[in-house]
Chain A
């Protein structure tokens, strides 16, 4: 168990469609889970306290809040390879259509003038930390995810 490479999946601010695509792999995801330890995946399993060193961290979603940015930095410290999956993590995508200078007006439009947002900006992961691999798509196609999972040994040995 301990010798298995550790994978972790993190979601920033997003629709969660990318991580759901992994469930779309069905039996193939199960086969994959036999060979790896999934060290963290908030959507499907509880926390295990401290996060250990990770071989491959998969990040999806746009960096919108300080908590998102902090998580990305911490994950980078712990992970040998950081993979940004989906358009939100890769480009900031739809949330980034609102430019920073228009943000206060947009927040007031949705929440009113008195509201203090958690949002600071809408950024891709690579604007915060070094990203080793990006997988495009909204969400990435199943074949893209499958090829990626099959290539993880190469990614770890790089």
Chain B
């Protein structure tokens, strides 16, 4: 029995198709259509965060919170400060959880010449130990605040069902302090891996990150242009292709990049101290884009969000946290109203948009994921790299291997992209 020729060690099912003569590369996405947008139609809007979390097991918290923001935007609900801080804390945990999975379990085997992360345990026990300690921390953080790491249980439209006990936050704070030094060693592993050299002009997009907290109000481009998230449909076009169950995104007709590489490129001066120091000589540039730099950008962000989680916990410990959240009643709409939520998910800007009727039910839904926005660039990068590899007269096997590494460097979430 032969399994389909999926690119392994990525989230979801895609097949890389290379035409060597024409120097063309296609990422054929074959993931089944779950049709989440259609599933949402007729559902109570307050149920959307539960449903859409299930789009992705790697970034469920990102979908859950973006979904909540979209409903709150339509209903004009302004969450309180504790809710705001707890959401930021969850997002920090989400980024650590997702980047760690990608960096250690999916990327590192390529560079340490072992078939899988499970094989890393034998040959690189120290690194494995670091990875498991960081995994333990992110799982614990997401459990303390969100109820559990995969598919949160404490979050609702308006706030939280349950607040974390301060004692648990103190424990978390200590756990972060315990792993910070070894996290630095972990980040260094990825700062020093060798990446193939190729360059291409691209464009980077990210929500503004004045505090590098993933919750900006404006989308900003490396070109200097900017737009409000509510206008995303005028800016970002999704195209249906006959070879892919995922749509392909473009910004003003051109490929662009979102994610850690875009955020670090535009907001490196806002990084927390340890991360900033580690990134002092690392400034990815959209005009000389190399997708492999996303690996380093994620490693730096891992450090940044460990520091960020610690800062947020300090703030929460200085606040009065009531034993139970005050229930928020959801106002009735007088007419159909659109609500748009946007956050920086681990892989880039994530948009959820719902039209909600006076009965509180969803009338229309649209979700644009980071991987959809990156897909057009993945193919452009694959072709740019393929040209260099061909000039170097690399064998077809090497080309396939290097292109798969490139795809992996993007950390595509095909599961998300097809939703």
Query: Of A20, A30, A68, A110, which one neighbours B101 at CB under 8 angstroms?
Result: A20
Of B56-64, B177-185, B221-229, B346-354, the one touching chain A: B56-64
- Closest B residue to A64 by CB, please name it: B32
A74 to B2, CA, bound (A): 9
- State the CA gap A39–B342 with chains docked (Å): 40
A139 within 8 A of B: yes
**Please, which residues of chain A bring their CB within 8 A of the CB of B41?**
109
B38 touches A98 (CB 8 A): yes
Interface membership of B35, Cβ < 8 A: yes
A65 to chain B: which residues have CB within 8 Å? 30, 32
A134 within 8 A of B: no
Report the separation of the CA atoms of residues A49 and B3 in the bound assembly, to the nearest whole angstrom.
Answer: 7
Report yes or no: B32 in contact with A138, Cβ–Cβ below 8 A.
no
Q: Is A24 an interface residue (CB 8 A)?
A: yes
Q: Does A149 contact B (CB under 8 A)?
A: no
If A77-B1, A138-B54 touch, whether A110 touches B132 (CB-CB below 8 Å) is no
The complex places the Cα of A144 from the Cα of B403 at a distance, in Å, of 38
* Interfacial residues of chain A within 15-49, with CB under 8 A of chain B in the complex: 15-21, 23-24, 26-27, 29-30, 33, 38, 40-47, 49
Q: Is B242 a contact partner of A13 (Cβ separation < 8 A)? A: no
Within 8 Å CB of B282, what residues of A?
Answer: none
Given contacts A16-B12, A17-B151, A109-B37, contact A30 B1 (CB under 8 A): no
Interface bin, chain A: 35 or more
Known: A94-B34, A106-B35, A110-B38. A15 touches B55 (CB 8 A): yes
CA distance A83 to B360 in the complex (A): 39
A27→B132 CA distance, assembly (Å): 8
Q: Is the CB of A67 within 8 A of B1?
A: no
- Docked pose: A8 CA to B11 CA in angstroms: 17
B173 at the interface (CB under 8 A from A): no
Residue of A nearest to B404 (CB): A46
In contact, B116 and A98 (Cβ under 8 angstroms):
no
How many residues on B have C-beta within 8 angstroms of the other chain's C-beta atoms? 52
Q: How many angstroms from the CA of A139 to the CA of B53 in the assembled complex?
A: 12
By secondary structure, the B interface counts as loop
Cβ of A95 under 8 Å from chain B: yes
Interface-side segment among A115-123, A124-132, A150-158: A115-123
Residue of A13, A18, A42 near B32 (CB, 8 A) is A13
Asked whether any CB of chain A lies closer than 8 Å to the CB of B230, the reply is no
Q: Give the contacts of B1-37 with A (CB-CB under 8 A).
A: 1-6, 8-9, 11-13, 30-37
Given contacts A42-B8, A44-B105, contact A119 B35 (CB under 8 A): yes
Nearest Cβ on chain B to A136's Cβ, whole angstroms: 14
**Inter-subunit contact B2/A50 (CB<8 Å):** yes
- In the complex, whether B136 has a CB less than 8 A from a CB of chain A is yes
Contact of B35 among A38, A42, A50, A107 (CB under 8 A): A107
Choose from B33, B119, B139 the contact partner of A118 (Cβ within 8 Å): B33
| Min distance, Cβ A116 to any Cβ of chain B, angstroms | 7
Nearest residue (CB) in B for A75 is B1
Could you give, for residues 89-121 of chain A, a 1 whenever the CB lies within 8 Å of some chain B CB and a 0 otherwise? 000011101100001011101111011111100
Q: Is B316 in contact with chain A by the CB < 8 A criterion? A: no
Q: List 13 other contacts, CB 8 Å, given A16-B415, A50-B2, A119-B32.
A: A17-B56, A23-B105, A44-B106, A65-B32, A71-B3, A93-B54, A95-B39, A97-B39, A98-B35, A107-B33, A114-B240, A117-B33, A118-B30
Q: Which A residues contact B (CB, under 8 angstroms)?
A: 11-21, 23-24, 26-27, 29-30, 33, 38, 40-47, 49-51, 62, 64-65, 67-68, 71, 74, 77-78, 93-95, 97-98, 103, 105-107, 109-112, 114-119, 122, 138-139
Between-chain CB contacts (< 8 Å), 29 pairs:
A12-B32, A15-B60, A23-B101, A23-B105, A23-B135, A24-B149, A26-B136, A27-B132, A33-B121, A41-B116, A42-B8, A43-B106, A44-B106, A45-B118, A46-B115, A47-B6, A50-B2, A68-B32, A77-B1, A94-B34, A94-B36, A95-B32, A97-B39, A98-B38, A98-B39, A105-B38, A106-B38, A107-B35, A112-B240
The 6 closest A-B pairs by CB, nearest first: A17-B57, A64-B32, A13-B32, A45-B116, A106-B38, A15-B57
